[in-house]
Amino acid sequence: MNLETVIYGKLTVINLIYAIAVLIIGLLLTHLITAYLKRNLKTKLNKDKLDLVIKGVYYLLITVIITWVLSALGIKLSGLLVAGGFLGIIIGFASQSIVGNLVSGFFLTIERPMKIGNSVNIAGEIGIVEDINIISTKLRTWDGLDIRIPNEKVFTSSITNYVSNIARRFEYVLGIRYEDDAAKAIQIINELLDKEPFVLKNPAPLIFVSKLDESSVNISVKIWAPISEWYGLSMRLLWEIKVLLEENDIKIAFPQRVNHTKN
Amino acid sequence: MYGVNKIPLDLQRESLSLSVNKNADRMEYFRECLGSKTQKLILSKQDEILICPVEPLNLPRQVATFLMVEFLREMMMQPDSKSVIYLTFPLEIGVFVGKKDKYEILDIFSLARAKYSLYGEPRNGVICKYWQSPVFLEEPQTNPLIEGIIQLNLINSSKNWVQVNKVLFNGNGMKIYYNNKNTSMKATMKILEEEAAEVEFNNSPLHRDMKKSPELFSTRRLSASARKAVMLEGI
């Protein structure tokens, strides 16, 4: 077979082989370069910065390869731009949401309201951020489910980042009976919290009577804890407080109504 | 108790019960301390273990790399002056297997009360282990199982009187020395302004016969500034 044989327009067999070789070698090199960067930057950058660098390098190399391959195939980029202008209008209408997601992904990368590994609530979906790419954000819920949220939705929704600060506060409201001594209850709770290592000394816990309710005297307990410990602590402490109060003859009040009857 | 201990070992001190028994090429380790128990099987022909204080930042779980010591009484210091005070700090005791320069931590326990606090604001502060200490002007007597001694060199390089209520130590760079009577650290607190200071450890023992504890918070890869505690949220 003659390598100079024209296949289509000015495209010869040798040009086609060259283009295929550029494509294969280019993709191989892209893979090797990104793998090399990943291995060498792993200890120097945190995961989301590393992902950003790797993706940036990947898409840059892919763009260079595509340009090179098109040039090897004899397709002029200036012609593509003219055709692209017209096609762009058509594709633009057809891919509004994709472009929206891309732009949102870009702005999310700049604004950085969350990092990979953070526990977040995005538009009512709660989970750990697994990946933030240019089109979508992936969450893993506490139930082990994966959720993919388009970046446009992420960008326009309110985002609650549960772990952006190093400490957070949680609260209990305990309703004790009217005949119980609220001051004693506060003292007992205070002593318990003082013994608990992860209840932060500063900011100090707040314990106070917050409401005189229909059937109970409500005591609010507001506790600061390290972000890594608050959830376990919040699950454990409420029961410990309840048990300790009852050991001191202070009972949690049940709903009750006093009826007075005449005659 | 501190130092290299031959096996078999049986220690009963205050609320601590620790034993290591050797059986052919394995060791059985048991420890009970203030209600917390641990039991381990060690496959080794070694016939000794090292027991010594370690950085007090590991229990109940390592969530902080800083130790904050709050003074039980407020202290004032005049401008351009130097002074030396002594504070106490909580002890955590490490049990190591292996040989010198290649020790491996087996267990950590403490008879001191653990408490954590926040230094600064939730957004940009640090979580730190919290301890309250009297301010001593001479080396105090302490229970060697519960408290260690910090010799703190204070340098007020500012032009104002300053009030010092607390000091923050960075676990990265903590140099702990021990003998059978005491555990000690030496540090320098350089007060820069009324609300700002730098605290750095000095790598020397309080007494000549003291030995250095292995460092769990290794500093080999850290710069000098990463080993300091910079206090910008009040002192």
User: What's the pLDDT score for residue A79?
Assistant: 67
Instruction: Select from A43, A164, A166, A193 the residue whose CB has the most chain B CBs within 10 Å, as the one to mutate to test that interface.
Output: A166
User: What's the pLDDT score for residue A221?
Assistant: 97
Q: Would you say residue A92 has pLDDT above 80?
A: no
B71 close to A (CB below 8 A):
no
CA A134, distance to chain mean position in Å, is 14
Burial string for B160-181 (b: 16+ CB within 10 Å, else e) reads: eebebebbbbbbbbbbbbbbee
Which residues of B, range 87-146, sit inside 8 Å of A by Cβ? Answer: 113-119, 122-123, 125-127, 130
Neighbour-count burial of A116, counting CB atoms closer than 10 A to its CB (0-12 exposed, 13-18 middle, 19+ buried) = middle
User: What's the pLDDT score for residue B114?
Assistant: 95
CA atoms within 13 A on the CB side of A105: 20
Q: Tell me the pLDDT tens digit for each residue of A162-172.
A: 988 999 999 99
Instruction: Identify the closest residue of chain B to A223 by CA–CA distance.
Output: B117
User: What's the pLDDT score for residue A35?
Assistant: 86
Confidence of residue A55 (pLDDT cuts 50, 70, 90): confident
A197 close to B (CB below 8 A):
yes
Q: Which letter does DSSP use for residue B100 in this model?
A: T
Cβ distance of B127 and A166 shorter than 8 Å: yes
Nearest by CB to A203, which of B63, B118, B126?
Answer: B118
Peptide bond into B53 cis (omega under 30): no
Q: Would you say residue B220 has pLDDT above 60?
A: no
Q: Would you say residue B111 has pLDDT above 90?
A: yes
Q: Which letter does DSSP use for residue B123 in this model?
A: T
Cβ-Cβ contacts under 8 Å between A and B: the total is: 44
What does the CA dihedral A30, A36, A41, A42 come to, rounded to 10 degrees? Answer: 110
Q: What is residue B227's three-state secondary structure?
A: helix
Q: Which letter does DSSP use for residue B61 in this model?
A: S
Residue A109's closest CA among A146, A148, A137? A137
Report the percent of chain B where pLDDT is more than 70. 97
Transcribe chain A into DSSP letters: --TT-EEETTEEHHHHHHHHHHHHHHHHHHHHHHHHHHHHHTTTS-HHHHHHHHHHHHHHHHHHHHHHHHHHTT--HHHHHHHHHHHHHHHHHHTHHHHHHHHHHHHHHHH----TT-EEEETTEEEEEEEE-SSEEEEE-TTS-EEEEEHHHHHHS-EEETTSSSEEEEEEEEEE-TTS-HHHHHHHHHHHHHH-TTS-SSSPPEEEEEEE-SS-EEEEEEEEEETTTHHHHHHHHHHHHHHHHHHTT--BPPP--------
Instruction: Select from A162, A165, A196, A202 the residue whose CB has the most chain B CBs within 10 Å, as the one to mutate to test that interface.
Output: A202
Instruction: Select from B36, B58, B63, B92 the residue whose CB has the most chain A CBs within 10 Å, as the one to mutate to test that interface.
Output: B63
Cβ distance of B127 and A168 shorter than 8 Å: no
Instruction: Identify the closest residue of chain B to A198 by CA–CA distance.
Output: B116
Helix, strand, coil percent values for chain B (each to nearest 5): 0, 55, 45
Nearest by CB to B115, which of A167, A197, A203?
Answer: A197
A218/A17: higher pLDDT: A218
Q: Which residues in A lie closer than 8 A to residue B64 (C-beta atoms)?
A: 226
Query: Which range (A63-77, A114-128, B20-34) has the least confidence?
Result: A63-77
Per CATH, the number for A112-161 is 2.30.30.60
Instruction: Identify the closest residue of chain B to A205 by CA–CA distance.
Output: B117
Most confident of A77-91, B135-149, B216-230: B135-149
User: What's the pLDDT score for residue A42?
Assistant: 76
Nearest by CB to A200, which of B61, B114, B118?
Answer: B118
User: What's the pLDDT score for residue B179?
Assistant: 92
Q: Which long-range contacts (CB under 8 A, 24 or more apart) does A201-210 make?
A: A201/B115, A201/B116, A201/B117, A201/B130, A202/B117, A202/B118, A202/B119, A202/B130, A203/A167, A203/A169, A203/B118, A209/A182, A210/A173
Q: Which residues belong to CATH 1.10.287 in chain A?
A: 6-94
CA B75, distance to chain mean position in Å, is 23
Q: Which residues belong to CATH 2.30.30.60 in chain A?
A: 112-161
Confidence of residue B28 (pLDDT cuts 50, 70, 90): very high
A31 close to B (CB below 8 A):
no
User: What's the pLDDT score for residue A60?
Assistant: 87
Q: How many helices (H) and strands (E) does chain B have?
A: 0, 19
Q: Which residues in A lie closer than 8 A to residue B130 (C-beta atoms)?
A: 201-202
Nearest by CB to A167, which of B113, B118, B130?
Answer: B118
Tell me phi and psi for residue A114, to 5 degrees: -155, 160
User: Class of the A167-247 domain?
Assistant: alpha beta
Report the percent of chain A where pLDDT is more than 70. 93
Confidence of residue B193 (pLDDT cuts 50, 70, 90): confident
Confidence of residue B51 (pLDDT cuts 50, 70, 90): very high
Tell me phi and psi for residue B61, to 5 degrees: -155, 150
A168 close to B (CB below 8 A):
yes
Cβ distance of A200 and B116 shorter than 8 Å: yes
Domain boundaries along the sequence of chain B: 3-231
Structure tokens at B156: 């007020």
Q: What spatial distance separates the first Cα and last Cα of chain A, rounded to whole Å?
A: 118
Tell me phi and psi for residue A13, to 5 degrees: -60, -45
Per CATH, the number for A6-94 is 1.10.287
Nearest by CB to B116, which of A165, A195, A198?
Answer: A198
Query: Which range (A7-11, A254-258, B79-83) has the least confidence?
Result: A7-11
